């Protein structure tokens, strides 16, 4: 990143606050890749070099926020989370975070009526006076978490409520996906609060991270993307190929992003203004990757007056213009892409659910909570962890099934109205980043005699969305037997302009369900819940071991206890390795656990918890383990925590609460994992309890394994499976984890009562603390099942998370804090520590390389930009 930046550090700290951390590297990434989802910072002159770079990343999308965002309303529900995240937002230096210059534009309901469309819901909206706040980013702002500011105020709202605000406008457009600059996004009025509250902090931040990740992940690609000619280079690919599939085709190319971005930068304000009336920043349009554009277009229907340049991508995309059917807004030309996802314009006659459609809905990459107020959207029956997706060249491989043999079931609780709703389903990512539509997979509508659930396809952005009626008569419960998964060719997708993800080994997805509930007050509550990860490749499903559950999440350092692992593909030769990673991803310790051969089955393994390398830890230590069936055939990292043997057993409330909550919400996800669904083979351990519970219990949305982003990570990281969720990337020990771990000097030791050693409790440690909580809590997804939050970053511990954490902190370190590790090493005679550099470490190295590249890139670009 910016070598020249100062910001970085500062960002880091902030980030930590959020608790999201994927790792140092990630931090860096985040730092420069901020994608302000919501808030955009338009670079003004003040822009620091960073800006340029940031823009380069394309991550940033100009956000125009509606200042009026109901902040007040936000935070009502989950106030818990918000607080911390939005913490005052003071910068380290004490400067108010929100100082970014901003331009407020007040528009009077100008949404094009067409856009408003019939949806009654929008009506009011359109007419409202919208005050758009154009946030001008200062460099700081950009990175500064506080920049979220708007959000900050809004945060915790669990739900995405829109009052006057049109979803359409929503910025959402995916920050992650594409260059944020996405015109569209810009065009739309953005709420200041991003994801509404949910993610106050994180989301925005994440986004950055996300994006960065992408970049990183796609190293190669990324380079190109910087220039704006991302994949243009790859001529070879070509193609188009697939009938439909290809995004339109193609590779288009593009005028370089640089040009665009810079332009953008320079004329940010103008652009922003234009955005209001036009669809977005025209300038950007060209530069914007198809994907983004399309997305944006769609999303911002209301605002979109703009027509894309003829040549623009539009050309490439054949348009399919209006494919919008019924309720969708007619897209302008660019509509979206490609043919490939086209949805047949069929007349949709679904009487039932009211067509609530998308025009005003939040972008698919927005992180939404699973519950809000009385409403709670849950996945009652999770899909199987494997489902071989079909290519367009093959026939359907059927609907996604449930483990039980049936099909996934989703239910909305708390809805007492008699009006049917529409449940939306799309295929989302399952990596460690924030949940977003999966670029390489699409939901596929299944019909036939065996399908009992009606469904309707729609396109939203480049994502196919299956709309399923949620009927009161069915208790607002839907059996998802009408959804299959289509695999798009990697080459087709990677050629899309703006696409930064790579398809190779990026084969895990999640089914994402959304429901939008109109409220009497005119607002709309949008809820979302994501399923457990689903491995969609043929091979992986057959060979990679998958750990779905573990009977214990933590145990005293002495080890010796047996732990039951449930999952798939366990072989006689399967090994279980316990690993402790330093923040940089290096393995600080790795040992093979004894597996009870006799009790082994293909779906279960009994493993003896190995003693931790240091029997005298004063605070818990987070490690991870994985099942290995051979080279490259490893399960995803599973989380495990070693507890100090003498820890006072204090059972904290949080734990209970959490659990109860979990049970209620059924976080199907990895909840299982996190929650000891399985009884420990042995009796409960005292040690386990304590403050830990909370941590442990938290379901982690993301796979712990991949701190980094995407594809790449996938490669490195062992398994791409479900359980991952439970393990959150957040692990302190994980790469993303604590920076502090490795460097003893960094610890800020807080002596715990129980521990004589000045263990560094990371409480204050920026890096450390986040991790702790992170695993499962994600501010963004307060109650939502972990599923929804994929972030690799340790998620930011939601307020909720934090609370417990802090509360219990004194007695025991919550989630093993890494710091402890360090301390231990020093203070006690630990077991021999084996420091092993594993291939996985490559992740880190890889990241380093990438960062280096990025730095170079940025420096170049920034200089250009400024010049």
Residue bearing tokens 């702002």: 141
By CB under 7 A, is residue 615 in contact with DNA? no
By CB under 7 A, is residue 399 in contact with DNA? yes
Pair 275, 186: CB distance under 8 Å = yes
By CB under 7 A, is residue 503 in contact with DNA? yes
Stretch that binds DNA, among 42-50, 104-112, 537-545, 739-747 (CB under 7 A): 537-545
* Contacting residue, 6, 344, 391, 863, with DNA by CB under 7 A: 391
- SS in 3 state form for 259-291? HHHHHHHHCHHHHHHHHHHCCCCHHHHHHCCHH
Evaluated on CA atoms 199, 200, 206, 208, the torsion sign reads: positive
By CB under 7 A, is residue 832 in contact with DNA? no
Nearest approach, Cβ of residue 649 and DNA (Å): 43
Stretch that binds DNA, among 369-377, 388-396, 591-599, 679-687 (CB under 7 A): 388-396
Nearest approach, Cβ of residue 502 and DNA (Å): 7
The residues in 217-256 that bind DNA, with binding defined as CB under 7 A, are 220, 236-237, 241-242
CA distance 163 to 838: 51
For the chain, report the end-to-end CA distance as a whole number of angstroms. Answer: 19
* Contacting residue, 388, 464, 562, 723, with DNA by CB under 7 A: 388
Instruction: Please tell me whether residue 538 adopts helix, strand or coil conformation.
Output: helix
Which residues, listed in sequence order, are joined to residue 421 by a DSSP beta bridge? 470
CA distance 382 to 403: 7
By CB under 7 A, is residue 392 in contact with DNA? yes
Helices assigned H by DSSP within 112-235: 113-116, 122-127, 139-143, 149-154, 183-187, 202-217, 219-227
Taking the least distance from each CB to DNA, the nearer of 298 and 392 is 392
By CB under 7 A, is residue 632 in contact with DNA? yes
Nearest approach, Cβ of residue 214 and DNA (Å): 15
Pair 537, 504: CB distance under 8 Å = no
By CB under 7 A, is residue 395 in contact with DNA? yes
Taking the least distance from each CB to DNA, the nearer of 427 and 800 is 427
* Contacting residue, 45, 374, 756, 839, with DNA by CB under 7 A: 839
By CB under 7 A, is residue 393 in contact with DNA? yes
**631: exposed, middle or buried (C-beta count within 10 Å: 0-12, 13-18, 19+)?**
exposed
By CB under 7 A, is residue 120 in contact with DNA? no
Determine the distance from the C-alpha atom of residue 589 to the mean position of all C-alpha atoms in its chain, rounded to a whole number: 29
Tell me how far CA of residue 133 lies from CA of 129, 301, 844, in angstroms: 12, 19, 39
Taking the least distance from each CB to DNA, the nearer of 470 and 485 is 485
Taking the least distance from each CB to DNA, the nearer of 633 and 793 is 633
Compute how many residues bind DNA; rule: CB under 7 A: 40
Q: How many CB atoms lie within 10 A of CB 558?
A: 14
Taking the least distance from each CB to DNA, the nearer of 306 and 388 is 388
Taking the least distance from each CB to DNA, the nearer of 444 and 665 is 444
By CB under 7 A, is residue 24 in contact with DNA? no
Stretch that binds DNA, among 89-97, 394-402, 616-624, 654-662 (CB under 7 A): 394-402
Q: What are phi and psi for residue 200, nearest 5 degrees?
A: -50, -70
CA distance 451 to 439: 26
Taking the least distance from each CB to DNA, the nearer of 52 and 628 is 628
Taking the least distance from each CB to DNA, the nearer of 395 and 832 is 395
By CB under 7 A, is residue 505 in contact with DNA? yes
* Contacting residue, 45, 344, 374, 448, with DNA by CB under 7 A: 448
Helices assigned H by DSSP within 423-561: 490-494, 538-543
By CB under 7 A, is residue 491 in contact with DNA? yes
Nearest approach, Cβ of residue 217 and DNA (Å): 11
The residues in 708-747 that bind DNA, with binding defined as CB under 7 A, are 715
Nearest approach, Cβ of residue 493 and DNA (Å): 8
* Contacting residue, 91, 397, 562, 778, with DNA by CB under 7 A: 397
Looking at residue 489, the DSSP 8-state letter turns out to be P
Which residues, listed in sequence order, are joined to residue 621 by a DSSP beta bridge? 642
CA distance 242 to 257: 26
By CB under 7 A, is residue 539 in contact with DNA? yes
The C-alpha R_g of the chain, in whole angstroms, comes to 24
By CB under 7 A, is residue 427 in contact with DNA? no
Taking the least distance from each CB to DNA, the nearer of 169 and 717 is 717
Taking the least distance from each CB to DNA, the nearer of 311 and 393 is 393
Stretch that binds DNA, among 383-391, 455-463, 734-742, 852-860 (CB under 7 A): 383-391
* Contacting residue, 347, 349, 473, 631, with DNA by CB under 7 A: 631
Nearest approach, Cβ of residue 394 and DNA (Å): 5
Taking the least distance from each CB to DNA, the nearer of 444 and 674 is 444
* Contacting residue, 72, 120, 394, 573, with DNA by CB under 7 A: 394
Q: In 151-181, which positions are buried (b, 16+ CB within 10 angstroms) versus exposed (e)? A: bbbbbbbbbbbbbbbbbbbbbbbbbbbbbbb
The residues in 294-353 that bind DNA, with binding defined as CB under 7 A, are none
The residues in 635-654 that bind DNA, with binding defined as CB under 7 A, are none
By CB under 7 A, is residue 367 in contact with DNA? no
CA distance 627 to 636: 8
Task: Give the pairing type, strands 190-191 and 64-66.
Answer: parallel
Taking the least distance from each CB to DNA, the nearer of 597 and 836 is 836
Residue bearing tokens 């290995």: 628
Nearest approach, Cβ of residue 399 and DNA (Å): 6
Instruction: Please tell me whether residue 401 adopts helix, strand or coil conformation.
Output: coil
Taking the least distance from each CB to DNA, the nearer of 831 and 853 is 853
Instruction: Please tell me whether residue 542 adopts helix, strand or coil conformation.
Output: helix
Taking the least distance from each CB to DNA, the nearer of 39 and 710 is 710
Nearest CA to 618 out of 544, 531, 693, 556 is that of 556
Instruction: Please tell me whether residue 305 adopts helix, strand or coil conformation.
Output: coil
Taking the least distance from each CB to DNA, the nearer of 205 and 291 is 291
Pair 658, 693: CB distance under 8 Å = yes
Taking the least distance from each CB to DNA, the nearer of 3 and 542 is 542
By CB under 7 A, is residue 504 in contact with DNA? yes
Nearest CA to 169 out of 148, 184, 151 is that of 184
Stretch that binds DNA, among 356-364, 396-404, 426-434, 766-774 (CB under 7 A): 396-404
By CB under 7 A, is residue 396 in contact with DNA? yes
CA distance 213 to 626: 23
Tell me how far CA of residue 503 lies from CA of 371, 427, 535, in angstroms: 32, 14, 13
Tell me how far CA of residue 846 lies from CA of 213, 215, 230, 663, 708, in angstroms: 12, 12, 20, 39, 10
By CB under 7 A, is residue 446 in contact with DNA? yes
Which residues, listed in sequence order, are joined to residue 562 by a DSSP beta bridge? 608
Nearest CA to 672 out of 532, 480, 816, 530 is that of 532
Nearest approach, Cβ of residue 704 and DNA (Å): 18
Q: What are phi and psi for residue 704, nearest 5 degrees?
A: -65, -30
By CB under 7 A, is residue 849 in contact with DNA? no
The residues in 68-97 that bind DNA, with binding defined as CB under 7 A, are none
The residues in 450-489 that bind DNA, with binding defined as CB under 7 A, are 484, 487, 489
Measured N-to-C along each axis, helices 841-866 and 219-227 cross at an angle, to the nearest 10 degrees, of 10
Nearest approach, Cβ of residue 206 and DNA (Å): 24
By CB under 7 A, is residue 703 in contact with DNA? no
Under the rule (CB under 7 A), what is the footprint of DNA? 220, 236-237, 241-242, 388, 390-399, 401, 446, 448, 484, 487, 489-491, 502-507, 537-540, 542, 630-632, 715, 839
């Amino acid at each position: 990143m910016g070598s020249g930046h100062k910001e970085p550090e500062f960002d880091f700290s902030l980030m930590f606050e959020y608790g999201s951390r994927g790792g140092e590297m990630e931090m860096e990434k985040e730092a420069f890749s901020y994608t302000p989802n919501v808030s955009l910072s338009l670079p003004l002159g003040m822009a620091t070099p960073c800006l340029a770079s940031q823009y380069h990343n394309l991550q940033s999308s100009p956000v125009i926020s509606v200042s009026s965002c109901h902040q007040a309303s936000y935070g009502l529900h989950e106030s818990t989370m918000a607080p911390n995240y939005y913490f005052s937002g003071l910068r380290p230096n004490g400067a108010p975070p929100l100082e970014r210059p901003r331009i407020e534009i007040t528009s009077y309901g100008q949404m094009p009526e067409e856009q408003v469309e019939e949806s009654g819901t929008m009506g009011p909206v359109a007419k409202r006076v919208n005050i758009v706040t154009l946030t001008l980013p200062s460099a700081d702002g950009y990175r500064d978490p506080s920049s979220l500011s708007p959000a900050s105020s809004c945060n915790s709202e669990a739900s995405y409520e829109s009052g006057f605000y049109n979803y359409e406008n929503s910025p959402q457009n995916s920050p992650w996906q594409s260059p944020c600059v996405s015109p569209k996004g810009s065009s739309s009025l953005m709420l200041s609060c991003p994801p509404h509250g949910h993610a106050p902090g994180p989301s925005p931040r994440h986004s950055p991270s996300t994006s960065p990740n992408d970049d990183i992940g796609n190293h190669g690609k990324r380079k190109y993307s910087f220039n704006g000619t991302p994949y243009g280079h790859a001529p070879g690919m070509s193609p188009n190929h697939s009938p439909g599939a290809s995004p339109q085709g193609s590779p288009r190319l593009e005028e370089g992003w640089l040009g665009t971005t810079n332009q953008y930068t320079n004329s940010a304000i103008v652009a922003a203004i234009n955005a209001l009336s036009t669809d977005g920043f025209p300038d950007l349009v060209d530069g914007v990757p198809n994907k983004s554009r399309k997305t944006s277009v769609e999303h911002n229907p209301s605002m979109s007056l703009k027509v894309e340049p003829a040549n623009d991508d539009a050309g490439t995309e054949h348009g399919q213009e209006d494919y919008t059917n019924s309720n969708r807004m007619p897209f302008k030309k660019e509509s979206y892409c490609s043919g490939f996802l086209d949805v047949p314009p069929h007349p949709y006659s679904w009487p039932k659910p009211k067509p609530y459609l998308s025009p005003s809905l939040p972008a698919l990459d927005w992180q939404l909570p699973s519950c809000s107020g009385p409403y709670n959207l849950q996945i009652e029956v999770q899909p199987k962890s494997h489902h071989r997706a079909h290519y367009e060249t093959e026939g359907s491989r059927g609907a996604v099934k449930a483990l039980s043999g049936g099909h996934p079931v989703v239910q909305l609780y708390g809805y007492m109205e008699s009006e049917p709703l529409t449940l939306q389903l799309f295929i989302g990512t399952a990596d460690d980043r924030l949940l977003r539509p999966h670029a390489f997979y699409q939901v596929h509508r299944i019909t036939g005699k065996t399908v009992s659930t009606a469904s309707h396809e729609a396109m939203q952005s480049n994502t196919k969305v299956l709309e399923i009626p949620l009927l009161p008569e069915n208790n607002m419960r839907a059996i998802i037997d009408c959804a299959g998964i289509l695999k798009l060719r990697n080459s087709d997708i990677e050629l899309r302009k703006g696409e930064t993800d790579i398809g190779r080994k990026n084969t895990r997805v999640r089914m994402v369900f959304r429901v939008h509930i109109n409220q009497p007050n005119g607002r709309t509550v949008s809820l979302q819940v994501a399923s457990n990860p689903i491995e969609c490749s043929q091979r992986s499903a057959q060979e990679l071991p998958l750990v779905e559950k573990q009977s214990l999440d933590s145990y005293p350092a002495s080890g010796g206890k047996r732990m039951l692992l449930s999952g798939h593909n366990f072989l006689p030769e399967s090994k279980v390795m316990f690993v402790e990673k330093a923040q940089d991803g290096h393995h600080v310790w790795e040992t093979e656990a004894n597996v009870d051969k006799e009790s082994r089955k293909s779906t279960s393994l009994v493993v003896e918890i190995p003693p931790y390398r240091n029997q005298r830890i004063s605070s818990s230590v987070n490690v991870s383990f994985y099942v290995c069936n051979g080279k490259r055939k490893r399960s995803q990292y599973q989380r495990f925590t070693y507890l100090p043997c003498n820890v006072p057993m204090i059972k904290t409330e949080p734990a209970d609460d959490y659990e109860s909550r979990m049970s209620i919400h059924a976080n199907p996800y990895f909840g299982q994992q996190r929650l000891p669904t399985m009884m420990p083979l042995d009796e409960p351990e005292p040690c386990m309890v304590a403050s830990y519970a909370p941590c442990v219990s938290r379901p982690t949305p993301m796979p712990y394994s991949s701190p980094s982003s995407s594809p790449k990570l996938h490669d490195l990281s062992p398994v791409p499976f479900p359980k991952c969720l439970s393990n959150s990337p957040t692990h302190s020990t994980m790469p993303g984890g604590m920076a502090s771990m490795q460097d003893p000097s960094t610890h800020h030791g807080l002596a715990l009562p129980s521990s004589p050693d000045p263990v560094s409790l990371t409480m204050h440690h920026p890096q450390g603390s986040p991790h702790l909580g992170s695993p499962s809590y994600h501010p963004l997804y307060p109650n939502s099942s972990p599923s929804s939050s994929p972030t690799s970053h340790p998620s930011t511990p939601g307020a909720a998370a934090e609370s417990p954490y802090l509360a219990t902190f004194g007695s025991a370190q919550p989630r093993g804090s890494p710091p402890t590790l360090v301390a231990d090493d020093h203070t006690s005679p630990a077991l021999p520590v084996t420091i092993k550099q594993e291939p996985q470490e490559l992740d880190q190295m890889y990241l380093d390389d990438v960062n280096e590249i990025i730095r170079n890139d940025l420096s170049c670009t920034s200089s250009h930009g400024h010049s």
